[in-house]
A and B are shown apart, each in its own frame.
Chain A
């Protein structure tokens, strides 16, 4: 039985879901349902029948869950109109990279907190091992290599911000709201949904995205060989570039393995969409922070 992607109401068919959403939007002007339609389908009203077809195609295809997650991610962030942050990362300026550093420190700290809750809530050994390894790579560092967190801070220092400033800067409100979304998921949804919500985000830097229809990579790979960027910037970007392909594939396989009922799968999809929405907002927060260093980035808003 399909569920409403906004309030998770369970109904018999996509037609019933379509009628429910249409009623919540047009009769009750319910902000959550209206916003979902605006952000996922179109801000122009469509007929109930068309909405039903759209919902069916969107939620039922492709059949394989891991592929569904990849597809939804790529169409939101990497399709014909890539996310402005991804575009800015093709030739990142100092301001863009500093915006990244100041907001991402908060993201990464929250990342390991949420992953710890997955460990706390699951009994699956392979999931526990996977998450602990991920936490180590991101936060502690393994095999003598610095953590991703440390590499981020070093990048910030190399671009002129002191460690003190990086650690004492509060997140922007949009970053805070996104983090609250991920924390809400971790505290209120089953571990498998939390796992899907978090590791779907790692698709952002997955090298194989172009195989799934992405128009661009997370950043221009030439940066790694360019003399226009310093060692610390390249070290940080390279780490993500090399790590996330393994991270993402393995996590998606685990999610697929343990998503054993239709209801679980439906709920994972709804949670993933909420997480991607939070990511969208968070990526703009990085640009917003970048505007403090480079006010001309306001042009991104006008585009």
Chain B
């Protein structure tokens, strides 16, 4: 799975947290079969919430690509893709990584 945060490939300690792109911290989780680096468990939880929503609402299967734009304050625009289709949405998280706002964006 390729994860892009604000234009850069992320997911390792060197490249940055798979949600926020930060390189502080030392938390790893296996998600969709990929061992991904996160700065903390809250970012990991938020990322898993993104995956779940992309699968549930967007009917995606094996997610191959996720593009995340934004940050904690602004909220984030997400584009997730599997081999056949993509799903785009806006999401905002609480301090605990729970979704507090979600809007579907135009999905063609």
Contacts and interface: CB of A to CB of B under 8 A. Distances in A.
B40 A301 contact: no
A298 B95 contact: no
Contacts, number: 82
A23 to B, nearest CB: 11
A44 B74 contact: no
A122 interface: no
A257 to B, nearest CB: 33
Interface string B24-54: 1111000000000011111100000000000
Interface string B93-108: 0110000110001000
Contacts of B26: 26-27, 29
A159 B100 CA distance: 28
Interface in A137-180: 172-174, 177
B23 A44 contact: yes
B35 to A, nearest CB: 15
Interface in B57-80: 69-70, 72-77
Contacts of B42: 31, 35
Interface string B10-30: 000000110011111111000
A298 B74 CA distance: 10
A25 B20 CA distance: 15
B39 A38 contact: yes
Interface residues on B, range: 20 to 34
B75 A288 contact: yes
B16 to A, nearest CB: 7
B81 interface: no
B92 A45 contact: no
A30 B24 CA distance: 10
Contact of B77 (A44, A173, A302): A302
Nearest to B75: A301
A288 B102 CA distance: 11
Contact of B94 (A37, A173, A300): A173
Given A31-B42, A177-B95, A43 B77 contact: no
Nearest to A26: B26
7 contacts: A34-B22, A34-B25, A38-B22, A39-B72, A45-B24, A172-B101, A174-B101
Given A35-B42, A38-B24, A288-B75, 7 more contacts: A26-B24, A26-B26, A29-B40, A43-B17, A174-B92, A177-B100, A281-B72
Interface of A: 25-27, 29-31, 34-35, 37-39, 43-45, 84, 172-174, 177, 280-281, 284, 288, 298, 300-302
